[in-house]
Amino acid sequence: MSNGLKNKKTYYGLMLAMVFIFSSPGAFAANVTLEWDQPATNADGTPLTDLSGYIIYYGAESGKYSQGLDVGNVLMYTIYDLFSDSSYYFAVAAYDSSGNESDFSNEISVTGMRDTTSPVISGVYAHDITTDSASINWTTDEASDSLVEYGIFTSHENASPPDPAPVFNHNMTLSGLLPATRYLFRVSSQDSSGNLSVSDDYTFVTPNLQNSPPVISSFKADPYSGRAPLTVAFTVNVSDIDGNITGYEWDFDGNGKIDAATTTNQISHTYRHSKRYSPRVRVIDDQGGKAESRTKISVYK
Ligand SMILES: [Ca+2]
Ligand SMILES: [Ca+2]
Ligand SMILES: [Ca+2]
């Protein structure tokens, strides 16, 4: 310390702006990253031109720093292997090329760095489910590792290979699954201090190897009859137990030629000639399965 020279030149405007990111392997050691602003002027208001470095002071008591660490001319520094159960007080001082040292910055304290809280798991869901694989997503409120356990009778007969990468958004893919099978699964995440969380059980069902075609429950026209020109609103209701509907084809006059294609289950058509029509709809699922239905429309003069 060069307190003897301190009054010659004193910087001000020195701010210790940010504290700690802790990562504590084994939960016994913590790392603290400190960040501060560069001072621009000397204490007398003249421009500061010969700043050459900083000293981080710290200790277990406020205002009494047992350690001084010359970190050179940087604005951020990480101190490793602090005791994670202890409290620390930090301040920083700047020095110039002549060795004059500034007053301390504001003080920052860090307490209770030991992480004893388990990650909070939320948003668990299965997606992209095929006959033999499924992807599982979830989020945690802190960086943590990833594991999915799954099974047919319980949620923990099998486990995915664990992914140790600490992440907030977790995504794991299960493979080697059986088709047409209901699986139970649960996810777990552990933080770097060894705090573990395990989710509730969830389920997904793998589809059949063979596609089940869509099933039309109703094909309605509104109205079914009236004077020409008659505008009719068609609605078809359909379900697909192992997929979803990707297209609708409409044959308004029932002549076998498609007159319109949509991705929604409704359409309108205006009939201009008095006649009986047998309009037809065809519904296609995501694996090419099809279902058809007809209805009748009467248009008169
Ligand atoms: Ca934690
Ligand atoms: Ca289907
Ligand atoms: Ca047609």
CATH (domain of 148) = 2.60.40.10
Distance 231 CA to ligand 2 centre (A): 32
Q: Is 300 exposed, middle or buried (0-12, 13-18, 19+ CB in 10 A)?
A: exposed
Q: Is the Cβ–Cβ distance between 277 and 254 less than 8 Å?
A: yes
Nearest ligand for residue 241 CA:
2
User: Based on the structure, what is the number of domains in the chain?
Assistant: 3
Determine, yes or no, domain membership for 174. Answer: yes
Q: What is the distance between the terminal CA atoms of the chain, rounded to a whole angstrom?
A: 106
Environment class of 230 (CB within 10 Å of its CB; exposed 0-12, middle 13-18, buried 19+)? buried
Judgement on whether residues 19 and 87 belong to the same structural domain of the protein: yes
Res 159: pLDDT? 95
Q: Using the predicted structure, report yes or no on whether residue 74 has a pLDDT greater than 80.
A: yes
Q: Is the dihedral of CA 26, 28, 29, 35 positive or negative?
A: positive
- In terms of domains, do 90 and 149 share one? no
Q: Is residue 32 part of a domain?
A: yes
Residue 26, domain member (yes or no)? yes
Q: What separation in Å is there between the alpha carbon of 296 and the centre of ligand 3?
A: 14
Q: What integer pLDDT is reported at residue 2 of this predicted model?
A: 39
Same-domain status, 125 and 149: yes
How far does residue 282's CA lie from ligand 2's centre (Å)?
14
Q: Are residues 150 and 174 in the same domain?
A: yes
Are 137 and 156 in a shared domain? Answer: yes
Assigned domain for 115 exists: no
Buried b (16+ CB within 10 A) or exposed e, 92-116: bbbbbeeebbbebbeebebeebbbe
Asked which of 89, 110, 131 is the last residue of a domain, the reply is 110
Last residue of a domain, one of 110, 130, 152: 110
Is 133 in the same domain as 220? no
Choose the final residue of a domain: 176, 205, 234: 205
pLDDT category of residue 10 using cuts at 50, 70 and 90: low
Report for 12-26, 39-53, 75-89, 275-289: range of highest mean pLDDT: 275-289
Over the chain, what is the mean pLDDT? Answer: 88
pLDDT in tens, 162-199: 999 999 999 999 999 999 899 999 999 999 888 999 99
The ligand placed nearest to the CA atom of residue 261 is 3
CB atoms within 10 A of CB 222: 10
Q: Note whether residue 226 is domain-resident.
A: yes
- What's residue 1's pLDDT? 39
Residues 137 and 99 occupy one common structural domain: no
Distance 74 CA to ligand 1 centre (A): 30
Position 14 scores a pLDDT of: 58
Question: Cα separation of 199 and 201, whole Å?
Answer: 7
pLDDT of residue 251: 98
In a domain, 241, yes or no: yes
* CA 211 – ligand 3 centroid, Å: 28
Query: Which pLDDT score is estimated for 26?
Result: 40
Q: Is the domain of 179 the same as that of 221?
A: no
Range of the domain at 177: 121-205
Residue 285 CA, ligand 2 centroid: distance in Å: 5
pLDDT, tens only, 246-256: 999 999 999 99
pLDDT at residue number 106: 86
